[in-house]
Amino acid sequence: MRKSSSGLSRALVRRETIAGYLFLLPSLFFFITFVIYPMFMCIYTSLFDSNMGKNAVDVFIGLNNYKELFQDKIFLGALRNTLVIVVVAVPTVCAFSLWVASAITDMHPALTSMFRVIFYLPVVTGSVAVTVVWKWMYNNYYGIFNYLLKGAGLIEKNINWLGDAKYALWCIIIILFTTSVGQPIVLYVSALGNVDQTLVEAAEVDGATRTQVFWKIKWAQIMPTTLYILVITTINSFQCFALIQLLTSGGPNHSTDTVMYYIYYTAFKLYRYGYGNAMGVVLMIIIAILSAIQFKLGQSSD
């Protein structure tokens, strides 16, 4: 019987390979059905003027949807809002999570656990419930923020937090921030706990300060976690939808539209499926490029 270089017979290798693929098959089926196929359909439909209607015929229009996108002021506004959310939320979430994790990781285990639970609560609480509570707090007529600010004499008239274009997007970013820090904090606490203590002790023996230990030893060791958090937070920020849908519906005057919300608006309110899909493709490309850059930067600093 012929043997492969690893000493296994070819028949055995074939059998193991087949078994391997068979084990992969269920997840492959779901991946193709629910990820690859919709992705292909999204790209395909984006090339058509596709609208709702039993007798509506999809007309091939090539890249016209994409051309229209970059002349659509509302889409460009939504893209700008999305980028603002990403640029503000991603660094602040990462920095805050790292700061909190560093502060609580050396505490008594019970205290560390308590803080982890506190920060993780908004993550496990339903987004609708969280949003409703925030909506009450922001309420123009009886919200606690106006009550406190007026009580402190900082404002004379109530501020319509979600109804004023000056404040609405920032209000959403604050909620996004509070619901996004839970998971990174838990991950950072875990990553900091796994830092090789012998390296830390060696550095301290050599006279390194706490700051030097953090940046020279710990930061390098938690880099994969940081990379993961950056990518996940970036994707979540790009895909910000539920908050917008529940709080402002993109208003006032499209000032809180994000690309994800505008996709929904175009497809489900205006019934323009092809155009909505073109936006989805553009969003996918942007996220893919940013994620690739983040991975590249993460690798080069390893």
Residue 224 has, within 13 A of its CA and on its CB side, a CA count of: 5
DSSP-derived 3-state class of residue 257:
coil
Report the C-alpha gap between 99 and 119 in whole angstroms: 13
Nearest to 122 by CA among 97, 139, 102: 97
Helix (H) or strand (E) holding 228: helix 223-238
Beta bridge partners of 47: none
Binding site residues, another protein, CB under 8 A: 52-56, 138-142, 157, 160-163, 165, 248-249, 251-254, 265, 268-271
At closest approach, how far in Å is the CB of 232 from another protein?
27
Return the number of the residue (48 or 161) whose C-beta is nearest another protein.
Answer: 161
Report the C-alpha gap between 65 and 276 in whole angstroms: 9
Return the number of the residue (70 or 268) whose C-beta is nearest another protein.
Answer: 268
At closest approach, how far in Å is the CB of 254 from another protein?
7
Nearest to 192 by CA among 213, 175, 167, 174: 213
At closest approach, how far in Å is the CB of 68 from another protein?
14
At closest approach, how far in Å is the CB of 70 from another protein?
20
Return the number of the residue (119 or 138) whose C-beta is nearest another protein.
Answer: 138
Q: What tokens were used for 246?
A: 């529940």
Q: What tokens were used for 268?
A: 């489900």
Q: Are residues 174 and 161 in contact, defined by beta-carbon separation less than 8 angstroms? A: no
- For residue 224, is the peptide bond before it cis, meaning its omega torsion is within 30 degrees of 0? no
At closest approach, how far in Å is the CB of 55 from another protein?
5
Return the number of the residue (82 or 245) whose C-beta is nearest another protein.
Answer: 245
At closest approach, how far in Å is the CB of 248 from another protein?
7
| Measured CA angle at 164 (ends 159, 168), to 5 deg | 100
Return the number of the residue (208 or 246) whose C-beta is nearest another protein.
Answer: 246
At closest approach, how far in Å is the CB of 28 from another protein?
24
Return the number of the residue (164 or 196) whose C-beta is nearest another protein.
Answer: 164
Return the number of the residue (253 or 299) whose C-beta is nearest another protein.
Answer: 253
Q: Are residues 237 and 85 in contact, defined by beta-carbon separation less than 8 angstroms? A: yes
